[in-house]
Structure 1
């Protein structure tokens, strides 16, 4: 599975070309449905060809345009190992971006002057996103989660377990092995101590192993801000906190032996821990809106909120899921047009506001319509 990062979303949102093709499809991990993934994708590419032909491109131009995506149609290995709920691809005459994501998309092909991103926006800014690191001495598993899904991520260059890390150490040098010993205040890199030491040496070696795991986690997470939940024994959590470099490690850990739990059990327990975290953050945003209402630091209409979100002023945004608010937004003039129904190249202005809020470092929270007196949807709290 892939992560659609903040940086990638920003590139896709700002991308403009004469023709931009967006493909979305649901996918299946097991059973006879999984064998249909490749066929479904082939049919979507055919639909893209038809839409490009309708733009009056010549046959050769259409072939050239889709040349970057065509190899995936016949890549049996890619589809055999496919392990995600959904697949999306974004194609222009110059570039190809594709992602295996934990969302079961509706089938859709869109051709316009920009990429169609609404189906993925909820994944990247939704307030229920978090990561789980299930870690023990016998190995590490790393997951991207929401309230409804859990998908394992691959960490590069991380030993399979503590023993493998120690074996590698012994192969390099019997007693001591140093790789780029850290400067004062810098990230610690693997510094293992020889076998035969006491309890302190064992803890030190575990710490170095955990630093390798932390390095693998950082390589996957990048600049994300979603919380990271540690799932493991209490004493190991204490050691991992010393190795951790990710600023959003949850203060509370899931105190279990992850080796004794299935992925489904791990997800259920993780939701139990993180549920209170998300509710507390959302309630804080609601309180901020109510306390600051009337001071000039809040707004409750899309015409005001969207330009401020684009400008990076929105600290938190509360929105009701469901019905879109169609219209157009011109970033250059920051002018907003709201339409009663969709027409032409209209965009969902609520999704745009959510995306810009997220990209500029703000937080987005779902709120049920009318659930909190005095808080409309959308409702924004400004930084200044």
Structure 2
């Protein structure tokens, strides 16, 4: 499975040779509902096929559509569905992602990918990772306040200690190693002690490899807080070797395999909640200070123009707010209009997507934490 976090800005927001195909679908985790998901997916693929025939008549669409039909026949993929999927194709490119939140069914053929449904999912401030580890194996989970799922680790991730240190077979144990002369009061090390030293060094090597992989593949690309789930005898060593600045000081004192997924999510959210509230409080305070210096605004028209000019450093968007209208990406001009009109989309998402393209940050904030009643608030660079 591709890493949506890494791909969002660098792949999905990038320019591609058209046509660009985007497909979104809600999916189900359990029977019997999940049995209908592949059928609904094929119907959406047929919508893509019809749209291609209308907009790109005469083009051989088979290479673009083949990965979608192959996915429809992939039973293992559908057996491990979460709450939604997003799939994208362009000449020479196919990407598919499992989503932790439902999305509206949609099939779009355009000159660029339709990524707005991902904005609120990816930029929500309540997301976190969990690293579960003991001396033999490691696992990674991604969650929010509502859901938690184990991550499908990328090839090369050190899942087990064997991946890092190999299998020790047939290594003869020395019966005794002395440090200093033998005798009363002197230090003598026996074979079991020497073997334990080897095991401890192996565990440290494994923990260092896992720490580096988590930082490079998950924490650094996402900026999400990381919770450690481990027994005391393992967590102390991991914290001693870790160089991950996203690792929280709080710990879940259990290996994830000892808990149900709901128990793990509940324990994680209790620990993440204070950090989540602190982060939102800091953003609200930062916005207030910026606004007092005329470096912040809650006016949508002003923010839209500032986004096009590259002035928005941080944008706060109300989680469930929709402001229908048209956004002109060249000038930043906006026009309010009914959502059912052709060409009308959510202005908040339009502006947020433009801010991300310009290198700014977007944070989705629940209504009760928003510092303005317009559904949007911006902190400007200048």
Distance 1:325 1:105, change over 3 A: same
Distance 1:202 1:314, change over 3 A: farther
Choose which of 351, 354, 360 in structure 1 pairs with 2:352.
354
Choose which of 199, 210, 214 in structure 1 pairs with 2:211.
214
Counterparts of 1:115 and 1:358, CA distance in 2: 15
Contact 1:24 1:88 in 2 (8 A): yes
Which of the two has higher C-alpha Rg?
2
Q: What secondary structure, in the 3-state scheme, does the structure 1 residue paired with 2:60 have?
A: helix
Establish whether residue 205 from structure 1 lines up as the match of residue 193 from structure 2: no
Deviation of 1:231 after TM superposition, in Å, equals 1.4
The number of residues matched between the two structures is: 360
Establish whether residue 102 from structure 1 lines up as the match of residue 97 from structure 2: no
Q: Which residue matches 2:42?
A: 42
Contact 1:3 1:101 in 2 (8 A): no
Deviation of 1:376 after TM superposition, in Å, equals 4.8
Contact 1:2 1:101 in 2 (8 A): no
Contact 2:125 2:276 in 1 (8 A): yes
Contact 1:88 1:99 in 2 (8 A): yes
Contact 2:317 2:376 in 1 (8 A): yes
Counterparts of 2:172 and 2:106, CA distance in 1: 58
Contact 2:26 2:102 in 1 (8 A): yes
Deviation of 1:63 after TM superposition, in Å, equals 3.2
For 1:162-241, list aligned pairs within 5 A. 162=161, 164=162, 168-171=166-169, 196-197=193-194, 202-218=199-215, 220-221=217-218, 223-241=221-239
Q: Which residue matches 2:269?
A: 271
CA displacement, residues 293-327 of structure 1 (integer Å, 9 cap, x when unaligned): 23122111223324544666434332222213422
Q: Which residue matches 1:74?
A: 73
Establish whether residue 338 from structure 1 lines up as the match of residue 308 from structure 2: no
Contact 1:318 1:367 in 2 (8 A): no
Q: Which residue matches 2:289?
A: 291
Distance 1:13 1:169, change over 3 A: same
Deviation of 1:203 after TM superposition, in Å, equals 4.2
Q: Which residue matches 1:20?
A: 20
Cα RMSD (Å): 3.2
**Structure 1, unaligned runs of 5 or more:** 176-193
TM-score (norm 1): 0.81
Q: Which residue matches 1:185?
A: none
Counterparts of 2:196 and 2:149, CA distance in 1: 36
Q: What secondary structure, in the 3-state scheme, does the structure 2 residue paired with 1:88 have?
A: strand
Deviation of 1:134 after TM superposition, in Å, equals 1.6
TM-score (norm 2): 0.81
Counterparts of 2:12 and 2:33, CA distance in 1: 30
CA displacement, residues 314-366 of structure 1 (integer Å, 9 cap, x when unaligned): 34332222213422232xx4433232334444443312333455562535141
Q: Which residue matches 2:83?
A: 85
Counterparts of 1:32 and 1:94, CA distance in 2: 35
Deviation of 1:24 after TM superposition, in Å, equals 1.0
Counterparts of 2:275 and 2:304, CA distance in 1: 27
Deviates more, 1:92-101 or 1:196-205: 196-205
Distance 1:376 1:344, change over 3 A: closer
Contact 2:139 2:159 in 1 (8 A): no
Q: Which residue matches 2:116?
A: 118
Q: What secondary structure, in the 3-state scheme, does the structure 1 residue paired with 2:378 have?
A: strand
